[in-house]
Structure 1
Amino acid sequence: MSATVIITGAAGGMGRPAATRFAAQGYSLLLCDVNAERLAALASELRAGGTEVSTLAGDISAPEFPQQLLDALGDAPLFALVHTAGLSPSMAEAPRILEVNYFATERLVAALLPRFEAGGCAVLISSMSAYLLGDPAMVSAVQDLVAGKGREGVDGHATNPGMGYTLSKRAVIGLVGREAAAYGERGVRIVSIAPGFIDTEMSRAEAKASEQMVRMMGMTPLGRLGVGDEIASVAEFLCSPAASYVSGCDIKVDGGIMGRLGI
């Protein structure tokens, strides 16, 4: 039985290229997405190339989702998680964004930890926006949330979808740091990737809704948008032996925009 890679948001702009890359390495795939039709199409395409693919269509924030995922995994050895599923500001209100982007991620990370093989890796997706959280009170609220001291502070600051998104992604970075010890005890790593402006369906929708985002896109030092495969390639690297001492941290893949902003 070949080792399995779980990819959430598999039918999306970052998940699909990640699935293609890990399929090319010969891993079995367990693909998850909320869009059952697009998920089935991707699975069919990969199976035609000889990849062993299982699927789980559903809402990652549903309380029963982690157990459903474990049931779908069965006895297969788990090598990696590439967790790209999430919501952007134009897709939901702040409470829903926090639930999907952070709380569902926290439950997923906890449920899968016992199933990883030694040498495995969990890769989460944060965001460059997490670095734009400059208010000390908001930073402290996120720290309290991640430390298990309650969510009241974060809920109080999540006054709109954009702020809910930023807080949720800052919390993902905190989660990676928090869980590095538990993962490390099992010989497993956990890392996050902070994408900048990536040319996906989700980011195009956000650009239409935000003039500020369009202006910031124009400031990217590399002078272009990234593509989903440039995130997938970093996830592939992070799960490889070449990154065997990388854990508990966030990797910016942003074309240099945060550096330009002095962050």
Structure 2
Amino acid sequence: MTTVAMITGAGRGMGLACAEVLADRADLLVLADRDEAGAAAAADRLRAAGARAEPFVVDVTDPAGVGELARHLAARGRLRWVAHAAGISPTMADWRTIVAVDLIGTAALLETLRPLAGPGAATVVFASMAPLLDPNPPDPAALAVLDDPLHPDFLERLREVLGAAVEQPGVAYGWAKRGVQRLVWREAVRLGAAGARICSISPGIVDTPQGRQEASAHPSMRALVERTPLRREGRPEEIAAVVGFALSEEASFLNGTDLLVDGGVVAALRGADGQR
């Protein structure tokens, strides 16, 4: 049977880098992105390199579109690998949209794809180092709300428990990505019954178009690069290499955990703050 890899956010940046890593592994790459031109260009690039690739236009916040994606994948063969890189960052939208794309969309995608997961299937979803930069322990009441992202009143409940602070895009982003990390814990238990597994990856500052947009709006990101022990930003291919390993047979016992790939900046900040 045809083995299928599906990558969201595949039109550019880390999503495209993930697709390139999986190109030699899958019989078919399905490149999902809401940007039709970007997905088509990525498919052309991968086909030119010898891969079998096809674009699929989808917005992860659209339940009908996500359902159509699942049906498309089921018709193509055995869904073996998923890299969910689609997401938005603080400069790109208001707080509601950030949470809807980065957390609610991720939860809905995983729920819709779960019936396609069989023995050996592996998924990596993108989180962020952002929650680990928050020095304050999270409120248990907020975590209880955060752990139910598909509740019909989720955004209102989150605003109620976190207050006006969540309307700041950076705060919303951090909470959304914390929710993704915690979602993976629960999803690992669900998928394990089918012999499938899932992890999240939390990149640090990475040199992508989206990362450069954030850096231009937030000069403080330069300070984080300077505090990074490796004294540089990451590269998309470095993040994709970790995703490729997490999805590989060599990582077949890796499940329900987050992989921090940040050049050591969180460790440096924790050390400076005396945290253990």
Instruction: Please classify the TM superposition score into its range, dividing by the shorter chain length.
Output: over 0.9
**TM-score when scaled to structure 1?**
0.94
Q: Which amino acid in structure 2 is aligned with residue 207 of structure 1?
A: A
* Cα RMSD after superposing both structures: 1.7
4+ long deviations beyond 6 Å: none
Count of aligned positions: 263
- Matching residue of 2:219: 211
Are 2:174 and 1:166 aligned?
yes
- Matching residue of 1:54: 54
Equivalent pair of 1:66/1:111 in contact (CA under 8 Å): yes
User: Which residues of 2 match residues 181-220 of structure 1 at below 5 A?
Assistant: 181-220=189-228
Counterpart-to-counterpart distance in 2, 1:10 and 1:85: 8
Q: 1:45 to 1:12 in 2, by over 3 A?
A: closer
Q: 1:140 to 1:227 in 2, by over 3 A?
A: farther
Equivalent pair of 1:5/1:81 in contact (CA under 8 Å): yes
Counterpart-to-counterpart distance in 1, 2:50 and 2:140: 46
Q: Please report how far the alpha carbon of residue 24 of structure 1 lies from its aligned counterpart in structure 2 after TM superposition.
A: 2.1
Equivalent pair of 1:3/1:78 in contact (CA under 8 Å): yes
Counterpart-to-counterpart distance in 1, 2:120 and 2:74: 20
Aligned-residue identity in percent: 35
Query: CA deviation digits over 1:9-29, x for unaligned, max 9?
Result: 001210111111111224311
Counterpart-to-counterpart distance in 2, 1:188 and 1:221: 35
- SS for the counterpart of 2:173 is helix
Q: Which amino acid in structure 1 is aligned with residue 220 of structure 2?
A: Q
Structure 2: gaps of 5 or more residues: none
Equivalent pair of 1:146/1:178 in contact (CA under 8 Å): no
Are 2:239 and 1:239 aligned?
no
- Matching residue of 2:233: 225
Q: Which amino acid in structure 2 is aligned with residue 28 of structure 1?
A: L
Equivalent pair of 1:141/1:153 in contact (CA under 8 Å): no
Query: CA deviation digits over 1:9-62, x for unaligned, max 9?
Result: 001210111111111224311111121112111111222333222221131111
User: Which residues of 2 match residues 62-81 of structure 1 at below 5 A?
Assistant: 62-75=62-75, 76-81=77-82
**TM-score when scaled to structure 2?**
0.90
Are 2:137 and 1:133 aligned?
no
Please identify, of 221-230 and 54-63, the stretch whose mean Cα deviation from structure 2 is larger.
54-63
2:159 to 155, 159, 166: 155
Equivalent pair of 1:56/1:72 in contact (CA under 8 Å): no
Q: Which amino acid in structure 1 is aligned with residue 194 of structure 2?
A: R
Q: Please report how far the alpha carbon of residue 114 of structure 1 lies from its aligned counterpart in structure 2 after TM superposition.
A: 1.1
Structure 1: gaps of 5 or more residues: none
Counterpart-to-counterpart distance in 2, 1:171 and 1:140: 13
- Matching residue of 2:87: 86
Equivalent pair of 1:128/1:195 in contact (CA under 8 Å): yes
Q: Please report how far the alpha carbon of residue 72 of structure 1 lies from its aligned counterpart in structure 2 after TM superposition.
A: 1.8
Counterpart-to-counterpart distance in 2, 1:16 and 1:139: 37
Counterpart-to-counterpart distance in 2, 1:198 and 1:140: 32
